[in-house]
Amino acid sequence: MHPFPTIPRHIAIIMDGNGRWAKERGLPRREGHRAGAEAVREVLDACKELGVDYLTLYAFSSENWSRPEAEVQALMTLLDRFLREKAKDLDQKNIRLQAIGQLDRLPAKTRALLDSIIARTAGHTAMTLVLALSYGAREEIVSAARSIATEAAAGTLDPNEVDAALFASHLQTAGIPDPDLLVRTSGEMRLSNFLLWQISYAEIVIVKKNWPDFRHGDLLAAVAEYQHRHRRFGAL
């Protein structure tokens, strides 16, 4: 039997259902995104209390750029506000911030703010919050393959040396352990182009609540379900 850690080292969350939450209340979609920020605060606090090392949040996908311009602008405004408000909190709680995705597509102001907080919190050690922004797993995998092919064509890499570990080292998550637990809210049963390589052996918990209604206790319940799973990793 494989050893089973009491607490997942890395939790990844697909924060789904902001729009549905707003629609159910007759509110604009942006209000759903705004309400979701409170869920982020509670989940971050719960993870730190549990001793989770890494929390990755799917905050904005590469496909989200195709949404109406007004909604995209509202999301970027909310991201700016979240980063400004969270910077001091991350310092106080000794939490490091990192980001993955096509960050060069973010507005210059947002990117500068993000980079400044990443640098400012680089030495924090309590846990790491990873924001997936303008992120798409297929794009990440293609980029890694292109990088490896470029090195092989230049003669700096022997194609026979390419294995899973080397490939993973070319992903944006290099140095970050793969998620042990993937949580998706709103009851949807899709991966939505999120960490497709990294979640190969993650336990998946689907929660029916929309993201703005997800709270501290819901995260604890997802971890409790994870603790009752037997992770075989392909073995018996």
How far lies 226's CA from each of 51, 121, 183, in Å? 15, 30, 10
**CB count in 10 Å sphere of residue 211:** 27
- 10 Å CB burial of residue 235 (0-12, 13-18, 19+) is exposed
**CB count in 10 Å sphere of residue 123:** 8
Cα separation, 206 vs 190, whole angstroms: 10
Q: 94 catalytic, yes or no?
A: no
3-state secondary structure of 130: strand
Catalytic, out of 53, 64, 178, 213: 64
Take residue 59 and report the two structure tokens written for it.
Answer: 């905050």
Catalytic, out of 16, 18, 180, 210: 16
Q: 16 catalytic, yes or no?
A: yes
The residues, any chain, with a CB within 8 Å of residue 73's CB and separated by 6 or more, are none
Q: Are 16 and 186 in contact (CB under 8 A)?
A: yes
Q: Are 135 and 58 in contact (CB under 8 A)?
A: yes
Take residue 112 and report the two structure tokens written for it.
Answer: 């500068």
3-state secondary structure of 10: strand
Q: Which residues are catalytic?
A: 16, 64
